[in-house]
Chains A and B, each alone.
Chain A
């Protein structure tokens, strides 16, 4: 069974890397966000000539001491990239159903859940590869991402851990949705509907300080915020002091709980839905 799962993941990846256009398109959106949004919405320049001292105090208090907005934005965009990749993973289950490939999986003796799990894992791999490319682009940009001097290998591994957990959470959510939805138009509109609020009601783009109370309440509990904030801390604060480590561990725990809950829901839904193809 392990080889079957492995083979299914390999299939997803083959379908992806054999179409380089797909990778380029999926990379272009986050890169556009960084370059266009990152430069246009630079809060340090937004209100004209603010004295340099005030700028750095705003950056220190609201933007985690980032030296420019792109440095603040990039961790959010990395999380966003993973969110988009998960979204595509959800759609791929729908295509499998539409093109009949799902039938092949369901008549074979593999476990029903491995259909679901293979999608999520393949998703995470794609998401992490895309995030890596975007990270490199952000670092190479003139006046781009500036990492803290204390950023080390442990920080980098933790960044990946957060991205991985995030892709697991959203992968589980989107694939669970498409397990039940059979029309791709429906899935498309539901996912678009979900994407924007998930994205805006989070701290991926701005700090939560400016949000109204209710929005803030939701935003700080959004897995996207946990991931963006933690990656920000890891990139901008650098050295893992005990208070930072505690913060990171706490966030990891929240993300872990989300991942377990959505994975469990997904596996149960996948098991029951895929046992009866009259839904398909």
Chain B
């Protein structure tokens, strides 16, 4: 069942900028749906429209049956958001941040406190609950922000660039939490990212957005498969001629080039091509000195569909600068 239905969504800002140019997609229940694209592609604007933060110019968005245009109040009650820039109050304690958020969602204080303790535990923040959020590290702040977004048990969680600016360990930790939320709490998660491996690791479905449009949408493995080429380089110790002889019997090898005792082969991206290649090789008694396999990545997918590597679009320099300053101040 689709929990989010977006049809022909468009956003034209007051200054005439067309940020989103007719986007349609569905997100199924319990899915992790990823929106991938460079800065300025329209991801954040799309999230803002779905989450009632900015009016829709054209098109419709339905969330769990409610229409965003006509019933924003009902939508706000069933979604949780962790925006790109943190939304916690540094001057409040960790637990106070969560309780306050709970009360904003109509919970009474006791209920919100109960839930806050539970969430602090889930995100391993219990030891820091009475510390001011301002003293938290970047990763802890992000976790606290996630905890706040979850206090009212939303049906859908929106994460706008959840790991932007975090170090590698913190990033994989956040991924772990996101997966855990999805698995243990059956939560539908909508995330935007411009980290390709993040989309690859986490998402059930990935849509690639560029210039205000969705250019392609599929599962990460299918996407890689459609553009994918697996390049296999082997250096042969013994039996280069046998190898040459059996290549025609392997239809998944599209091209091959020999260079002395080295052979470069281009495979199609079908999942079983690599194992069957090895079976054949061992069967023929060929001895390999070295092998190098390069599988298609989300980079290749991105490159294929947008015609360019993932790059940062020119953002309003002013807001970029401010955001950077703010991050520095919070750090």
- Chain A residues engaging chain B, CB cutoff 8 angstroms: 1, 3-4, 7-8, 11, 14-15, 18-19, 98-101, 103-110, 275-278
8 Å CB contact of B55 from A11, A101, A276 = A276
B90 near A99 with CB under 8 A, answer yes
Q: Known contacts A4-B103, A278-B13: does B89 contact A101 (CB below 8 Å)?
A: yes
Contacting residues, chain A, for B96 (C-beta < 8 A): 14
B100 near A11 with CB under 8 A, answer yes
Contacting residues, chain A, for B87 (C-beta < 8 A): 100-101, 103-104
B88 near A101 with CB under 8 A, answer yes
Q: Known contacts A104-B104, A108-B105: does B55 contact A99 (CB below 8 Å)?
A: no
A110 near B326 with CB under 8 A, answer no
A106 near B103 with CB under 8 A, answer no
8 Å CB contact of B85 from A14, A18, A100, A109 = A100
8 Å CB contact of A105 from B77, B86, B104, B109 = B104
Stretch at the interface among B46-54, B176-184, B232-240, B294-302: B46-54
Contacting residues, chain A, for B79 (C-beta < 8 A): 107
A103 to B53, CA, bound (A): 8
B326 near A109 with CB under 8 A, answer no
Within 8 Å of chain A (Cβ to Cβ): is B76?
yes
Contacting residues, chain B, for A100 (C-beta < 8 A): 83, 85-88
| B294-331 interface with A by 8 A CB criterion | 322, 326, 330
Query: In this complex, what residue of B is CB-closest to A96?
Result: B89
A277 to B54, CA, bound (A): 5
B104 near A108 with CB under 8 A, answer yes
For residue B64, give the distance in angstroms from its CB to the closest CB of chain A: 14
A280 to B51, CA, bound (A): 15
A18 near B73 with CB under 8 A, answer no
Contacting residues, chain B, for A3 (C-beta < 8 A): 103, 108-109
| B64-97 interface with A by 8 A CB criterion | 73, 76-77, 79, 81, 83, 85-92, 96
Name the 8 nearest CB pairs between A and B, nearest first.
A104-B87, A108-B104, A100-B85, A109-B76, A100-B87, A7-B103, A277-B53, A15-B91
Can you list 21 pairs linking A and B with CB atoms under 8 Å apart? A3-B103, A3-B108, A11-B89, A14-B96, A15-B91, A15-B92, A19-B91, A99-B326, A100-B87, A100-B88, A104-B87, A104-B88, A104-B101, A104-B104, A104-B148, A107-B51, A107-B79, A108-B76, A109-B77, A110-B104, A278-B14
A14 to B97, CA, bound (A): 12
8 Å CB contact of B89 from A4, A19, A99 = A99
Given contacts A11-B89, A14-B92, 9 further A-B pairs with CB under 8 A are A4-B106, A7-B100, A11-B92, A15-B89, A99-B326, A101-B88, A276-B55, A278-B14, A278-B48
Contacting residues, chain B, for A103 (C-beta < 8 A): 53, 81, 83, 85, 87
Contacting residues, chain B, for A19 (C-beta < 8 A): 91
A107 near B106 with CB under 8 A, answer no
Q: Known contacts A3-B109, A11-B92, A278-B14: does B48 contact A98 (CB below 8 Å)?
A: no
Contacting residues, chain B, for A277 (C-beta < 8 A): 48, 53-54
Interface of A is mostly: helix
Contacting residues, chain B, for A98 (C-beta < 8 A): 322, 326
A18 near B91 with CB under 8 A, answer yes
For residue A223, give the distance in angstroms from its CB to the closest CB of chain B: 31
Query: In this complex, what residue of B is CB-closest to A102?
Result: B87
Contacting residues, chain A, for B92 (C-beta < 8 A): 11, 14-15
Contacting residues, chain A, for B14 (C-beta < 8 A): 278
A107 near B100 with CB under 8 A, answer no
Query: In this complex, what residue of B is CB-closest to A16?
Result: B91
Query: In this complex, what residue of A is CB-closest to B322?
Result: A98
A69 to B121, CA, bound (A): 61
A107 near B76 with CB under 8 A, answer yes
Query: In this complex, what residue of B is CB-closest to A105?
Result: B104
Query: In this complex, what residue of A is CB-closest to B14?
Result: A278
A275 near B322 with CB under 8 A, answer no
For residue A17, give the distance in angstroms from its CB to the closest CB of chain B: 11
A204 to B92, CA, bound (A): 37
A4 near B104 with CB under 8 A, answer yes
For residue B285, give the distance in angstroms from its CB to the closest CB of chain A: 64
A108 to B148, CA, bound (A): 11
A106 near B105 with CB under 8 A, answer no
Query: In this complex, what residue of A is CB-closest to B17?
Result: A278
Contacting residues, chain B, for A99 (C-beta < 8 A): 85-86, 89-90, 326, 330
A99 to B92, CA, bound (A): 13
8 Å CB contact of B81 from A4, A107, A275 = A107
Query: In this complex, what residue of A is CB-closest to B132?
Result: A18
| B36-59 interface with A by 8 A CB criterion | 48, 51-55
8 Å CB contact of B73 from A8, A104, A109 = A109
Contacting residues, chain A, for B330 (C-beta < 8 A): 99
